[in-house]
């Protein structure tokens, strides 16, 4: 509690002095808590010809990662004058409106030695990719950019910079990181896990989590910022009420099959909106994905290895944001468990789909270039019918890849006919390799 009060006091005073927002400064307070897995990726890509593009939902840690990397550069002998660091959310750089302004600004600061260009929230600069392309041609420079929406990697950028960029996907804190950020020990892990489910993994939450009013304000600010800046403003949306209702519907149906038609029928039949059509809703769903507030898991036929076009499932980037949208009293732990597992698999570098095998469905098919793993997620296996249902889905897959059921049960058998059973908390902590 003392740490939280000191951080808030420091943040408030510093914000007044430098005219920055309270939460921006709070975010800088925790900047030296290193997230090694992401920093390692940046170090490995350093001085390669590729542009390093760091993507992720707002306030997941991208700006802090750039600060960490800048510290690393300085400690490794790079001089301050050879590092050009621009945060486009700062009023200091308001004059950099388009690629020509950006090019001129950077050109005036280029030195004869190797230069490092760190550009934070670059999507705020019109046609920024043209400047990046010229930087690579004209200067001896290593480029790192961050962005809070997938428009950063639009077809235009992919065409212009084809084969010349690496994407580093950043997510909110894993449970393992959550424990580290809070300086928690391994005692009472279930209680701490419930806290993680409730408040989510945005790093700054660790400073204010003892004050519910601050937490709610912070999460609301982030949610509103994502919806306004990355969805409404960018796409010039007029029917904001329909968008809000689509977001609420998806948030309330995490881990359930969803389609634009299904949402449209629900909203129309319950007279929640005057009128909606599935094409508009489909566009909104696509926008939610591009803003990184939602992720879509497609269904995959395990036998044919083909993706199925209908009834994918959606997961939210942070459970705290989801609880803010629906209210903290409306927490469905089963759905949140599935959400946590999905995001953890993404962190571990897997491509994740929903598995379909005949009449059976598998919660997650996780694939990387070297392996495939199957997962079922359930609150408990103590009920016989539930246990048989979860086992049956995996038993019918007749290949030799690893199959696991994740549950909150503590005293469980480790194996059912070759199918592993693990406590979710144990799996989150023991098998994390980042």
The CA distances from residue 351 to 151, 287, 297, 343, 433, in Å, are 20, 20, 9, 11, 16
The pLDDT of 229-233, averaged and rounded, is: 94
Q: Residue 116 and residue 110: Cα distance in Å, rounded?
A: 9
The CA distances from residue 354 to 309, 310, 314, 404, 427, in Å, are 12, 11, 10, 14, 20
Residue 341 has pLDDT above 70, yes or no: yes
- Reported as a pLDDT band with limits 50, 70 and 90, residue 414 is confident
CA proximity to 149, closest of 34, 226, 50: 226
Q: What's the confidence (pLDDT) of residue 23?
A: 43
Q: What's the confidence (pLDDT) of residue 406?
A: 96
Which residues are CB-contacts of 51 (< 8 A; sequence separation ≥ 6)? 132, 136, 143, 144, 145, 161, 164, 165, 166
Q: What's the confidence (pLDDT) of residue 156?
A: 65
* Structure-model confidence comparison of residues 44 and 161, the more confident one: 44
CB-CB contact of 434 with 37 (8 Å): yes
**What residues form DSSP beta bridges with 165?**
51
Instruction: Give the lowest-confidence range in 72-81, 83-92, 157-166, 195-204.
Output: 157-166
The pLDDT of 254-283, averaged and rounded, is: 92
DSSP string, 105-133: HHHTT--SS-EEEEEESGGGSBTHHHHHH
The CA distances from residue 80 to 21, 49, 87, 333, in Å, are 26, 21, 16, 48
Which residues are CB-contacts of 275 (< 8 A; sequence separation ≥ 6)? 268
Task: Note the CATH number of domain 31-169.
Answer: 3.40.50.300
The pLDDT of 143-162, averaged and rounded, is: 80
Q: What's the confidence (pLDDT) of residue 434?
A: 61
Residue 186 has pLDDT above 90, yes or no: no
The pLDDT of 63-76, averaged and rounded, is: 94
Instruction: Give the lowest-confidence range in 32-41, 91-100, 370-379, 380-389.
Output: 32-41
Q: What's the confidence (pLDDT) of residue 78?
A: 98
- Reported as a pLDDT band with limits 50, 70 and 90, residue 27 is very low
């Amino acid at each position: 509690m003392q740490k939280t009060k000191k951080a808030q006091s420091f943040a408030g005073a510093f914000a007044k002095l430098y005219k920055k927002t309270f939460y921006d400064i709070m975010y800088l307070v925790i900047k030296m808590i290193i997230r090694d897995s992401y920093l390692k990726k940046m170090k490995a890509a350093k001085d390669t010809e590729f542009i390093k593009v760091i993507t992720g939902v707002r306030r997941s840690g991208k700006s802090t990662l750039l600060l960490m990397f800048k510290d690393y550069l300085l400690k490794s002998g790079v001089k301050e004058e050879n590092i050009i660091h621009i945060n486009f959310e700062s009023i200091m750089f308001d004059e950099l409106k388009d690629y020509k302004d950006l090019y001129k600004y950077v050109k005036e600061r280029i030195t004869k030695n190797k230069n490092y260009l760190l550009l934070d929230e670059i999507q705020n600069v019109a046609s920024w990719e043209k400047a990046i392309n010229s930087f690579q041609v004209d200067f001896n420079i290593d480029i790192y950019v961050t962005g809070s929406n997938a428009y950063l990697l639009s077809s235009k950028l992919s065409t212009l910079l084809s084969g010349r960029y690496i994407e580093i996907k950043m997510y909110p804190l894993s449970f393992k990181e959550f424990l580290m950020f809070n300086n928690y020990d391994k005692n009472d892990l279930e209680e701490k896990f419930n806290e993680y489910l409730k408040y989510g993994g945005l790093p700054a939450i660790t400073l204010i989590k003892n004050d519910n009013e601050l937490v709610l304000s912070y999460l609301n600010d982030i949610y509103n910022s994502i919806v306004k800046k990355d969805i409404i403003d960018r796409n010039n949306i007029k029917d904001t009420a329909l968008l809000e209702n689509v977001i609420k519907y998806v948030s309330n149906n995490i881990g359930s099959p969803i389609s634009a038609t299904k949402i449209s029928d629900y909203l129309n039949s319950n007279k929640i909106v005057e009128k909606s059509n599935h094409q508009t809703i489909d566009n909104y769903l696509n926008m939610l994905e591009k803003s990184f507030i939602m992720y879509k898991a497609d269904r995959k036929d395990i036998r044919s290895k083909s993706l199925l076009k209908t009834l994918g499932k959606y997961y939210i980037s942070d459970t705290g944001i989801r609880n803010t949208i629906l209210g903290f009293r409306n927490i469905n732990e089963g759905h949140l468990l599935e959400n946590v597992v999905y995001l953890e698999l993404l962190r571990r570098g897997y491509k994740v789909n929903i598995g379909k095998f005949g009449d059976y469905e598998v919660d997650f098919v996780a694939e990387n270039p070297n392996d495939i793993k199957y997962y079922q997620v359930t609150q408990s296996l103590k009920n016989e019918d539930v246990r048989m249902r979860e086992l049956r889905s995996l038993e019918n897959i007749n290949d030799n890849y690893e199959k696991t059921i994740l549950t909150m049960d503590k005293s469980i058998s480790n194996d059912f006919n070759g199918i592993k059973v693990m406590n979710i908390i144990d799996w989150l902590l023991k098998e994390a390799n980042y």
